[in-house]
A and B are shown apart, each in its own frame.
Chain A
Amino acid sequence: MYNGPIIDCDVHHNWASERELLPYMPAEWREFITERPHGRYPLTPRGGGKSYQHMNGLPYRIDTVGPSGIPGADYQMVRDQLLDAYHIDRVIVGFDIGFQQGLSNPELSVVACRAANDWCIEKWLSLPDERIRGVIMIPTQDVQAAAAEIRRVGQHPRMCAALMVFNGMNKPFGHPVYHPIYEAAVEMGLPIQVHSPINRGYPAGDPLSRMEARWRRTFPASSASASSISIRSCTCSRLKSG
């Protein structure tokens, strides 16, 4: 039985409502999102995560649905159900799951990623609970903005990685088009966390059910890690030496 310290590197924290991101956005985007006759403009892409729906439309453990209705939105629940219950020493909260990287409008995606990071720093990384660490949500559709975002918030003492979820350039993550992101990450001493990615298209066609999608969504991740060989072998060494 393992009795050593535990680091949980993938916990999905969330906002109880996308409204929570609005204070961290420029006024013109706040207006774009809220000044509509029928409901706010959503900050989660349509179909994001819903194309392959889990049973009961609920991809979460039922007992994680707290008072806000959104699993991962209540710090006390995360603390009680995870940190304290399993004696976790460090937990890396990584959003659910970073869909804002995949908003169709790249400008809005940049703004939403920045807002998500500021929200995370203020609501989670400023808690007295020192076990909590964060990752930087970066707008992968705009690599220069993504690199800038890593430099903007990467010096926060509790930020410990940059998160890549949406394959914004539709290229394996080792492709040189993504290198400015890695350059900024290396500069800040931050690793890259690839969450099972949101990808366009699957090898051999789209899966036909959640069950198949669940299994096959590792494909893009495996190509990402295959390409990370190139990251390790050339990209990082090049960036480090350069």
Chain B
Amino acid sequence: MPSHLSGVIDACVHQHWRTQDDVTSYMPQGWREFLGTARSIAGRYGQISINTPYPYIHPVDDFLPDSYPAGGRGTPGSDFDMLKAQVLDVKPDRQAAVLNFHTGMFAPTLANTYLALEVCRAINNWNTEQWLSKDSRLYGLVLAPNHLPEEAASEIRRIGGNRQIAGVLMAGNGLGMPFGHPLYHPIYQVASDMDLPIVIHYGGDAADQLGGGPPKTYTEWRILSGEPVMSHVVSCIGQGVFVKFPKLRVLVTGAGVAWVPWMMWRFDANYKSMRREAPWLTKLPSEYLRQHCYFSTWPLDLSSHPLGEAGASDALQRLLRGIDGIEDMLVYASGYPYHDAEQPDEVAARLPEGWHDKVFRENARQFFRFPQAAAA
């Protein structure tokens, strides 16, 4: 293992509850009663689920085969010791791993507005008490109940002061609007005030809203689910989020990176002739992108060359160099425990060695709000 791959920061690890009672125990009694008790009726009914699973199911397995706790019966990502053994304690050593939540991240899309709000709050409490307190290398994100932006702002203020909170999560699209929409700005205002960056995790938009209609298979969905995050980045730049909040930073995770050059070329080219409709923008879209946007490596795009063949990495690198300074925007993320999770050495082998310090450590330090000691 090359020595420069030490002190890795992992920007995206997914933690989950063992049973939803782990989370709902932080909810007010009235809501707990409403949700009911699992298996209290006929051994299988009795509880309303707070989970909002992905609409599509992997044809083999959504998760790494060895990530299932409790002898294969538990939920991947729900056991701290296992996550520690499979992420934090794996070589090369990790100085930090940022927890992004599992499907809990989509709680703002729960149909019932006020239930969704309480679930988000409870998830934040559960995360702080049951995860962040267990290991100083773990960092968390505020799950913003973004379907109620003013409440989301309060929630960020409520727990954003925790030194192990490193950002704010936008995944479930609570209002069904591109994330640059002014409706969401109260969230960015308080995040910016608290120096918390925004993580946009893919998967939180209804499959129906994918362009051209809902995909038919998991494969199609997995490919196209990156579509909405493009909309969110274009919208954040186009709607002037970074003009209004000049300190705000955004990281997109879960959607790969190969689409970024295409999107930016197209955005710059069109902006030049159409900018009169967005007079609040004063710079080229790519300049906002370079200054404010980061992209997680997970899952690092595969070219059509077989992995390991020299051409495989060359093709990817040629594509990425289509944006000057892309090496300052890439942030390593494992994506654990999903089936396409990547270890640092797998990612390192496919990126130029000169980028490694930035991708595995420095860019994450620039992006996240880490305490001074950790950032030293």
Q: Which residues of A contact B (CB under 8 A)?
A: 32, 36-38, 41-42, 45-47, 50-58, 62, 65, 69, 104-106, 170, 200-201, 206-210, 213
Is there contact, CB below 8 Å, between A104 and B59? no
Q: What's the minimum C-beta distance from B330 to chain A, rounded to whole angstroms?
A: 32
Q: Give the complex CA separation of A200 and B68 in angstroms.
A: 34
Is there contact, CB below 8 Å, between B46 and A56? yes
Is there contact, CB below 8 Å, between A56 and B56? no
Contacts A36-B60, A57-B45, A65-B41 given; does A47 touch B217 at CB 8 Å: no
Q: Please give, as numbers and ranges, the residues of chain A lying within 8 Å of B111 by CB-CB distance.
A: 51-52, 206-210, 213
Is there contact, CB below 8 Å, between A36 and B61? yes
Is there contact, CB below 8 Å, between B45 and A104? no
Interface residues of B in 177-227 (CB under 8 A from A): 207-208, 213-217, 221
Closest to A69 in B: B44
Q: What's the minimum C-beta distance from B24 to chain A, rounded to whole angstroms?
A: 13
Q: List 9 A-B contacts (CB under 8 A).
A: A41-B59, A46-B54, A47-B52, A54-B48, A55-B34, A57-B36, A62-B42, A106-B216, A201-B208
Query: With contacts A47-B55, A51-B111 known, what are 17 further pairs, Cβ within 8 A?
Result: A37-B61, A38-B72, A41-B59, A42-B57, A47-B52, A52-B111, A53-B49, A56-B46, A56-B47, A56-B48, A58-B41, A69-B44, A104-B207, A104-B216, A104-B221, A105-B217, A200-B214
Q: Please give, as numbers and ranges, the residues of chain B lying within 8 Å of A52 by CB-CB distance.
A: 111
Q: Which residues of B contact A (CB under 8 A)?
A: 34, 36, 40-49, 52-57, 59-61, 63, 65, 68, 72, 111-113, 207-208, 213-217, 221
Cβ-defined partner of B45 (8 Å) among A47, A56, A206 = A56
Cβ-defined partner of A50 (8 Å) among B34, B49, B68 = B49
Is there contact, CB below 8 Å, between B48 and A57? yes
Q: Please give, as numbers and ranges, the residues of chain A lying within 8 Å of B215 by CB-CB distance.
A: 104
Q: Give the complex CA separation of A65 and B47 in angstroms.
A: 15
Q: Please give, as numbers and ranges, the residues of chain A lying within 8 Å of B54 by CB-CB distance.
A: 46
Q: Please give, as numbers and ranges, the residues of chain B lying within 8 Å of A47 by CB-CB distance.
A: 52-53, 55
Q: Please give, as numbers and ranges, the residues of chain A lying within 8 Å of B36 by CB-CB distance.
A: 55-57
Q: Give the complex CA separation of A57 and B41 in angstroms.
A: 10
Q: What's the minimum C-beta distance from A109 to chain B, rounded to whole angstroms?
A: 9
Is there contact, CB below 8 Å, between A57 and B49? yes
Q: Please give, as numbers and ranges, the residues of chain A lying within 8 Å of B68 by CB-CB distance.
A: 38
Q: Please give, as numbers and ranges, the residues of chain B lying within 8 Å of A213 by CB-CB distance.
A: 111
Q: Give the complex CA separation of A36 and B68 in angstroms.
A: 14
Is there contact, CB below 8 Å, between A46 and B45? no
Q: Give the complex CA separation of A54 and B47 in angstroms.
A: 9
Q: Give the complex CA separation of A231 and B46 in angstroms.
A: 42
Is there contact, CB below 8 Å, between B59 and A65? no
Q: Give the complex CA separation of A162 and B325 in angstroms.
A: 60
Q: Please give, as numbers and ranges, the residues of chain B lying within 8 Å of A55 by CB-CB distance.
A: 34, 36, 48
Q: What's the minimum C-beta distance from B372 to chain A, rounded to whole angstroms?
A: 43
Q: Give the complex CA separation of A51 and B208 in angstroms.
A: 14
Cβ-defined partner of A57 (8 Å) among B46, B52, B59, B112 = B46
Q: Please give, as numbers and ranges, the residues of chain A lying within 8 Å of B43 by CB-CB distance.
A: 69
Q: Give the complex CA separation of A51 and B48 in angstroms.
A: 10
Closest to B110 in A: A51
Q: Give the complex CA separation of A37 and B62 in angstroms.
A: 10
Q: Please give, as numbers and ranges, the residues of chain B lying within 8 Å of A41 by CB-CB distance.
A: 57, 59
Q: What's the minimum C-beta distance from B63 to chain A, rounded to whole angstroms?
A: 8
Q: Please give, as numbers and ranges, the residues of chain B lying within 8 Å of A210 by CB-CB distance.
A: 111
Is there contact, CB below 8 Å, between B55 and A53? no
Task: Kindly name the residue among B40, B42, B43, B213 whose own CB sees the greatest number of chain A CB atoms within 10 A.
Answer: B42
